[in-house]
Amino acid sequence: MKHLPLLALLALYSLSAQAVEGMWQPHQMPQLAEQLKAHGLELDPQSISRLDQYPMNAIVSLGFCSASFVSPQGLIVTNHHCAYGAIQYNSTDDNNLLQKGFYAPELKDELPGGPGLYVYVTEKIEDVTDRIVPKLKGLHGLERYNRQESIEKALVRECETSETLRCSIYTFHGGLKFYRIRQLQIRDVRLVYAPAESIGKFGGDTDNWMWPRHTGDFSFLRAYVSPDGQSVQYNPDNVPYQPKSHLTINPAGLKEGDFTMVLGYPGRTSRHRLAEELEDNIHWHYPMVIQHYNRVVDIIEQQTADRPDAAVKYASSLAGINNYTKNSQGMLDGFANPAPIEAKKAREQAFLHWAKKQGRDDALASIEKLKQLLAENRKHRDRDFFYGLFNFGAMPSSANRLYRFAIEKQKPDSEREPAYQKRNWDRIKNRLKRLQRRFDPQVEQAVLEYALSQYLELPKSEHIPPLDAFFGLKGDGKDTARIHKKLTAMYAKTGLKNEETRLGWLEKDAKAIERSDDPFLQLAVALFDWRMQREKQNKALYADIEEARMHYMAALLDYARAQNLPIYADANSSLRITFGNVMGYSPKDAVWYQPFTSLRGIAEKYTGEGEFDAPAQEMEAIRRQDYGRWASEWLHSVPVNFLSDLDITGGNSGSATLDSRGRLVGLAFDGNYESINADWIFKADVARTIHVDIRYMLWIMDRIDHADRLLEEMQVAH
């Protein structure tokens, strides 16, 4: 293919800068019809707004990642790193599926994905703002929080007419709008196929967030239901779920300049937050994460060295922590240049000027109130950070959960804390079950000792009295030794290390736990009153912050309309659509990145060890130029990854990347390093999404792993 003429490129980039920003709700698609068509969409925009029509009814959530159906038999495609937990769950030291990959030749060979791996199919989204907001008028603090929670629980109860449905209330625009989202919940999800880690994670943490990229970040799962079509937990007699629709594959893929869109469930963005909140993250949150999470990584790696079984157990946790710390470092690097921060402050000042001119005293007052509340929220942040790090441990967190569960289940279901209502009991049980393959006492004790060592450095006023009393802390220089001795005894004695014992406590009442001699349960009991007091304070503060933010957002949206700015809600893990075109970018002066990588790049990066190893079969196929029918004529190789100017964030991982006709052409799996701070400020000239190309996926399945059954099932075998 010849490169686009310069004028065409300039026109494309100009259009991109105006329109690609935004993670849009499905119902907004008809409003964007003109822009969608201008970028190259061939489908009717109305169809993309309908949850019961193709392609929307093929898009699913895993709860933490996005995915999509790609066959009539419930076959699901997502990222390798999204299936990482399921692969790790089925791995052992002597059968490490993370390293060697997995392929089930037949349905009977597909493996349980592990407790708590569910698939969610969004069926209905309805605006329930008028059923919530008017009832909160005049309420503040804890009273407001409790009223809102009570209303939301009633709305959920009304919606969940069967155990197969999962309903949730989502907040948009800082509490201005509320939507009730109904999803089909499928509870038996199995691992079908995952390439070797040296393909699915090629480049490792070194290449994470970087371009050029050469990662085969894809895997396949399958949804199962009972023979009569009910959503039930894993059972060998279950059968593949038959979705209402599934994505068709376009094995020809895309080329530079083509329209593309991503359908998925982006996690969280903060673009409508105050400049003060951004600066707080830059000066405190990101540095804290980098410093202490990196130390946790070091501890885990030290404790699992020469212990392969423990290393397998913490593989998924390490991958997540490393990703989060690199994201935080990217935030700091992105904001090292003060220009974006100054630009955000300038926009905020322009809004304030407009609000004063319009006589919007409510907006001005809400911002001042919000700033006061945010200052209040920062008072105990160091203590809360290190206490949270302590509760990273499976033993303390499980003990807290068991005791709280015993207390909550004494209440009528409608009065229970939402996380402990009966609709969530399976989730509690699953969480307690799956830690068995993600926990090692030696590793965890070392992490907890580090967390408490940092806690010891806090001023005495920031200490937690019952925690100090439990560990016998005296501030005399010997507390580190006391902590080590106490934790060593606790891990030696606790029965919570045993899955059967741990699950057995779900059947006990609170008094039984209070009488227990298990040291972690004793710790949970000792800290309970303090935790409940802190929870009430946090709820009251959260409600007041949301109330102030709601009034601020009402004025901000009016300002956006007046200035003809794009109006979309910050990401909140609900179904969104983002669109644009395939294109490269310039990260700095005199540098231009092409939008496609190829197999040649794998050979160039290959070292044969560590992060840049690759299977021998793959390297031999690359050497022989055994491309089959998956090569691109204009690239003279198989495309591996590609760039687009789409607007995504965490949670979009595994999202279906579609062409102008709604056919699958890849999966979104990352952003470029320059786009990390797009969670706060979107920069159209450098923000890019990284996708794994469908042609690379099919080439690996065909030429390397011989996943013929799946190619047939997706109707791309011939």
pLDDT above 80: residue 2: no
Residue where one domain finishes, among candidates 139, 154, 185: 185
| The one catalytic residue among 39, 80, 81, 246 | 81
pLDDT above 70: residue 31: yes
The predicted pLDDT at position 392 comes to 87
Secondary structure (DSSP) of 8-74: HHHHHHHHHHHHS---B-GGGGGGGHHHHHHHT--S-HHHHT-TTSTTGGGEEE-SSSEEEE-STT-
Residue 7 confidence class, pLDDT cut points 50, 70, 90: very low
Taking only the tens place, the pLDDT of each residue in 36-92 is 999 999 999 999 999 999 999 999 999 999 999 999 999 999 999 999 999 999 999
Taking only the tens place, the pLDDT of each residue in 272-281 is 999 999 999 9
pLDDT above 80: residue 16: no
Taking only the tens place, the pLDDT of each residue in 95-105 is 999 999 999 99
Cα–Cα distance, 223 to 238 (Å, whole number): 10
- Judge whether 161 lies within some domain: yes
As separate numbers, helices (DSSP H) first and strands (DSSP E) second, the chain gives: 27, 18
Q: Are residue 306 and residue 389 in the same domain, yes or no?
A: yes
Residue where one domain finishes, among candidates 162, 185, 208: 185
Q: Are residue 91 and residue 220 in the same domain, yes or no?
A: yes
Q: Is 150 a catalytic residue?
A: no
Q: Are residue 299 and residue 227 in the same domain, yes or no?
A: no
| The one catalytic residue among 16, 91, 198, 653 | 653
- For residue 258, give the CATH number of its domain: 2.40.10.120
Cα–Cα distance, 300 to 87 (Å, whole number): 20
**Is 416 in contact with 409 (CB distance < 8 Å)?**
yes
Q: Is 81 a catalytic residue?
A: yes
The predicted pLDDT at position 4 comes to 40
Residues forming beta bridges with residue 236, ordered by sequence position: none
Q: Are residue 155 and residue 243 in the same domain, yes or no?
A: no
The mean predicted confidence, pLDDT, of the chain is 95
Number of domains in the chain: 3
Taking only the tens place, the pLDDT of each residue in 127-153 is 999 999 999 999 999 999 999 999 999
Tell me the chain's radius of gyration from C-alpha atoms.
26
- Judge whether 564 lies within some domain: no
pLDDT above 80: residue 5: no
The predicted pLDDT at position 566 comes to 83
Taking only the tens place, the pLDDT of each residue in 551-560 is 999 999 999 9
Q: Are residue 386 and residue 523 in the same domain, yes or no?
A: yes
Residue where one domain finishes, among candidates 139, 169, 185: 185
Residue 196 confidence class, pLDDT cut points 50, 70, 90: very high
Q: Worst-scoring range by mean pLDDT, 3-17, 103-117, 214-228? A: 3-17
Cα–Cα distance, 390 to 454 (Å, whole number): 10
- Judge whether 18 lies within some domain: yes
**Token pair recorded at residue 601:** 């790049």
The predicted pLDDT at position 104 comes to 98
- Judge whether 214 lies within some domain: yes
The predicted pLDDT at position 717 comes to 78
Q: Are residue 295 and residue 419 in the same domain, yes or no?
A: yes
CA count, 13 A, side-chain hemisphere, 541: 16
Residue 20 confidence class, pLDDT cut points 50, 70, 90: confident
The predicted pLDDT at position 707 comes to 97
Residues 6+ apart with CB under 8 A from 530: 464, 465, 466, 467
Q: Give percent of the chain above pLDDT 70.
A: 97
Domain that holds residue 445: 275-546
Prediction pTM value: 0.94
Q: Are residue 285 and residue 307 in the same domain, yes or no?
A: yes
- Judge whether 554 lies within some domain: no
- Judge whether 211 lies within some domain: yes
Q: Are residue 400 and residue 520 in the same domain, yes or no?
A: yes
| The one catalytic residue among 217, 258, 670, 679 | 217
**Is 195 in contact with 704 (CB distance < 8 Å)?**
yes
- Judge whether 559 lies within some domain: no
Q: Are residue 164 and residue 17 in the same domain, yes or no?
A: no
Q: Are residue 322 and residue 347 in the same domain, yes or no?
A: yes
Q: Is 205 a catalytic residue?
A: no
pLDDT above 50: residue 14: no
Give the residue-averaged pLDDT of 384-407: 97
Q: Are residue 216 and residue 284 in the same domain, yes or no?
A: no
Q: Are residue 638 and residue 489 in the same domain, yes or no?
A: no
- Judge whether 664 lies within some domain: yes
